[in-house]
Amino acid sequence: MAPGITLYTAHHCPWAYRCQIALRELGLEFETILIDITVPRTAEYLAINPRGLVPALAYDGHILAESGLIVQFLVDSYPSHLLKSSSEPGGALQRYSIGFFVDTYFSKAHTFFDNAVLFSGEEETSAAKKYIDAVVKNIEPLLDDARPFFAGSSRLTLAEVQTGSFLLRVFTLPKHTEILPSFISKSLEDKAPNFWRWGHAVIAEKTVTAVWDEETVVKRTLEKIKKHRAAIQAK
Ligand SMILES: N[C@@H](CCC(=O)N[C@@H](CS)C(=O)NCC(=O)O)C(=O)O
């Protein structure tokens, strides 16, 4: 019998969003329970995930937390096009390369994007430029052979599952000038063509857009910006 799978999530959380991309890519049946993270967590949810964060995954009687680890658990449990096993020919190297790519994206680039969202004025412009420079320097070379996906793959891989929900933001939010300066898009298109092509291929995939709700993400992002700016002014 297939194990019961329940995903506790909020679709506007990019970390949680990764898990449903993985579940859909793997063709797994799962139940979705939406958690309202704009209010304190219920005792019922805290009993599931004492950290109070989304996502959490109930899998065959086990509770798993932390999006990256949940995704890794799923791709390890269900061999697929997303990732080779370490014992397959080329598997260990593919796992290393994808791990290196995902780590590089988050440790060297994406933080600047998040900063640009939160900051305003010169600080926002500076963070946006740092994001573009970091993508050009660190990510662009790693996507030289994307066809259209990571390392020549014609289908999504774990690299896209771990980054897709963040790419949705990168390619959507600069259209909303109350959130980000629009030069981000033009600069990425001109200076990071591999990243631009790859990112657009990723966000065109049905499993990536399945529960994407731009309006809600924009609304929540504006609320987050307001809260952040109020906290700074209160200091
Ligand atoms: N490292 C965690 C991050 C998860 C996370 O930050 N979730 C946020 C929503 S995007 C959350 O649950 N926030 C609720 C809160 O902080 O109260 C993961 O990857 O699962």
**What number does the ligand 1 atom closest to the CA of 10 have?**
9
| H or E element at residue 227 | helix 214-234
Specify the pLDDT at position 182.
93
**Residue 72 sits in the same domain as residue 102:** no
Residues near 73 by beta carbon (within 8 Å), at least 6 away in sequence: 57, 59, 64
**Residue 166 sits in the same domain as residue 124:** yes
Specify the pLDDT at position 233.
86
The upper half-sphere exposure of residue 56, i.e. CA atoms within 13 Å in the direction of its Cβ, equals 20
Specify the pLDDT at position 203.
98
Task: State in Å: Cα 193 to ligand 1 middle.
Answer: 31
The answer, yes or no, to whether residue 1 has pLDDT greater than 80, is no
CATH code for the domain of 158:
1.20.1050.10
Specify the pLDDT at position 30.
98
Task: State in Å: Cα 154 to ligand 1 middle.
Answer: 31
**What share of the chain in percent tops pLDDT 90?**
97
**CA distances (Å), origin 224, targets 38, 100, 119, 179:** 10, 30, 11, 10
CATH code for the domain of 45:
3.40.30.10
**Residue 125 sits in the same domain as residue 210:** yes
**Residue 144 sits in the same domain as residue 187:** yes
Specify the pLDDT at position 2.
78
Closest residue by Cα to atom 1, ligand 1, is: 66
Segment 176-187 shows an average pLDDT of 96
Distance from C-alpha of 207 to C-alpha of 146, rounded to nearest angstrom: 19
**Residue 72 sits in the same domain as residue 147:** no
The answer, yes or no, to whether residue 34 has pLDDT greater than 80, is yes
**Residue 156 sits in the same domain as residue 68:** no
Domain housing 99: 91-234
CB 157 within 8 A of CB 209: no
Segment 109-117 shows an average pLDDT of 98
pLDDT category of residue 113 using cuts at 50, 70 and 90: very high
Task: State in Å: Cα 30 to ligand 1 middle.
Answer: 20
Residue where a domain stops, chosen among 77, 99, 121: 77
Ligand 1 pocket at CB < 6 A: 13, 15, 37, 52-55, 66-68
Query: How many domains would you assign to the chain?
Result: 2
**What number does the ligand 1 atom closest to the CA of 15 have?**
19
**Residue 72 sits in the same domain as residue 96:** no
Segment 94-123 shows an average pLDDT of 98
Distance from C-alpha of 126 to C-alpha of 119, rounded to nearest angstrom: 9
Task: State in Å: Cα 31 to ligand 1 middle.
Answer: 20
pLDDT category of residue 96 using cuts at 50, 70 and 90: very high
